A and B are shown apart, each in its own frame.
Chain A
Amino acid sequence: MAGRPGSAARRWLKLAMAAAVAAAFLVAAQLVSPSLPGAAGMVYEQNCSQDIDASALFYTEVTDVHEFSVTGGGRYAIDVRPGLKLGAGGE
């Protein structure tokens, strides 16, 4: 076992405490986030309202250059729209 020393009961108690902390973190974040002041609150509101998934491993969702949707259930893609004038290669 790649674990820590100590009695089995104590180790399981630690695991239960970690699970409780995770649950408390989820509940606290859910309760506190909507009332956060300043930029943090605004970013949170915006991410929620547009269903933006800020997951750190989400990058490959951006490989589609023909659609752009921040409301598509967290799926991102890019539409290089004519109005954007993205330089010589842009559409």
Chain B
Amino acid sequence: MVDGNVIEEKKSRWTELYLKEDWWSIWFAAILILVVAVGWITKVPKVGKWTDNPLTAFPADLFLPLALLVVGLGVMTAVGVAFMKLDVKRYLAGYVVVMVLAIVSYFLANQATMKAWGIGYAIWALAIGLVIANTVGTPEWILKGARSEMFIKTGLVLLGAEILFNRILKLGGPGLMVAWIVTPTVIIFMWHFGTRFMKMTNKPLVIIIAAATSVCGVSAAIATSAACRSKKDDLTLAVGMTMIFTVLMMVLMPPFAKLIGLSPAVAGAWLGGTIDSTGAVVAAGAFLGEKAEQVAAVVKMIQNVLIGLVAFAVAVFWVTRVDRDADPDHKPTLMEVWYRFPKFILGFVAASIVFSFVLMPLFGETAVDDILNKTKVFRSWLFCMAFVAIGLESNFKQLASQLVGGKPIIVYIVGQSFNILLTLFVAWLAFGGVLFEAF
């Protein structure tokens, strides 16, 4: 890590294949996919849901699988840490603490009321880390295990496997129109609004907020932050804002759609295209009935596919344009672009292509789903650990300094308002019987 950035910036050599975190994130993800695919892992443990009795979150048969998960992930990542010539003992000591805090985060997020309100593990993980860092302070030995970038990148490569292109084709033109026209338009609008009109100098923060607003909230924020080498504080801020507004939109938008008399299909497309989190999209859609719920979920799913494309585009844009603008006299060569390109994104894209065009035709949908159902849980654990780690490394003062002048909030609100209006218009065109047959 360099200056708290999410991605390192150094020259590439063949030794990077086993010395650099970006490549190790690809190897880690490949190992996890492999052990699941060959059947060595049949179930990945999850903390249970609970309402009044916290003990129900931890049934007796969960302890051994959970312990094996902690040990297994620890051993695997420790091998990479050893190759990267870091202190393995201190990494493992810190890793165990991060993992325990991740379990606590899941435990809190799985309380029934928290689940219903969408207060998920990401926000709990960040909060727990932040509170520890800003009260008793995070000891150095724990920070050695708080390798947020490594966890994020590995999780993102696993995420790539979940983006199955062939499924997009089943979803039809109207959904594609809403998701794929509005999303890039909103990103470009927010980028120009933030950097030119608001004159925000923290460009990574602008693009993370734009991606989180227009694609799918937290996952898009994580992918984009890694692609543009943002500081961790930027990611924390964007995730915090996204989650707060997601809950508000989940509650306020469905009654408003009813009030203005939108048809279920148009309302569903509107909710699916605007609310950041998919869980919240389903919840909001369900408020308006089954058809609205299905259309909302379908539109959101099509939009989610854009995470990889957005991350890839942002990475290319950053190394070819934003970095170049910082040094206008220097035009980067193709090799320099390659050196600075975040390599784990290649793993993300490769995983998506392999699963979509190799494994799916070879083994069929059921077998692929079976693999993904397990790798998804690994991915969630890795993201959860990443958020704990980010919190442990963050400082309230630094976070507050990002909010000076309220510019990030203004960018988010203006961008989200634009997103809401544009999506409503395109949803009406696509699902209201104007361009396609009415639903």
List chain A positions with a Cβ less than 8 A from chain B. 1-4, 8, 11-12, 14-15, 18-19, 22, 26, 29-30, 33, 38-40, 42-44, 46-48, 50, 52-66, 68, 70, 73-74, 76, 78-81, 84-91
Of the residues A18, A26, A76, A87, contact of B172 by C-beta under 8 Å: A87
Q: Which of A1, A29, A39, A56 contacts B113 (CB 8 A)?
A: A29
A73 CA to B110 CA, complexed, in Å? 11
Tell me if B402 is interfacial: C-beta within 8 Å of chain A: no
Chain B residues within 8 Å of A46, by CB = 283, 286-287
Given contacts A29-B117, A70-B286, contact A15 B294 (CB under 8 A): no
Closest residue to B372 on the A side, CB-wise? A63
Name which residue of chain B comes closest to A90, CB basis: B172
Q: Knowing A39-B251, A40-B251 are in contact, say whether A55-B138 is a contact too (CB < 8 A).
A: no
Contact indicator B131/A76 (Cβ below 8 Å): no
Chain B residue at smallest Cβ distance from A40: B251
Chain B residues with a Cβ under 8 A of chain A: 49, 51-52, 108-109, 111-118, 120-123, 127, 131-140, 143, 159, 162-164, 167, 169-175, 216-219, 242-243, 246-247, 250-252, 254-255, 276-280, 282-284, 286-287, 291, 293-295, 297-298, 300-301, 304, 365, 369, 372, 376, 379-380, 383, 392-393, 395, 436-437, 439
Determine whether the beta carbon of A60 is less than 8 Å from that of B159.
yes
Total residue contacts A-B, CB cutoff 8 A: 228
Query: Within 8 Å CB of A65, what residues of B?
Result: 167, 170-171, 301
Q: How far is the CB of B45 from chain A (nearest CB, A)?
A: 14
B279 in complex: contacting residue of A1, A29, A55, A81, CB < 8 Å: A55
A68, A74, A89: the one within 8 Å of B171 (CB)? A89
Name the distance in Å between B434's Cβ and chain A's nearest Cβ. 13
User: Is the pair B49, A73 in contact by a Cβ cutoff of 8 Å?
Assistant: yes
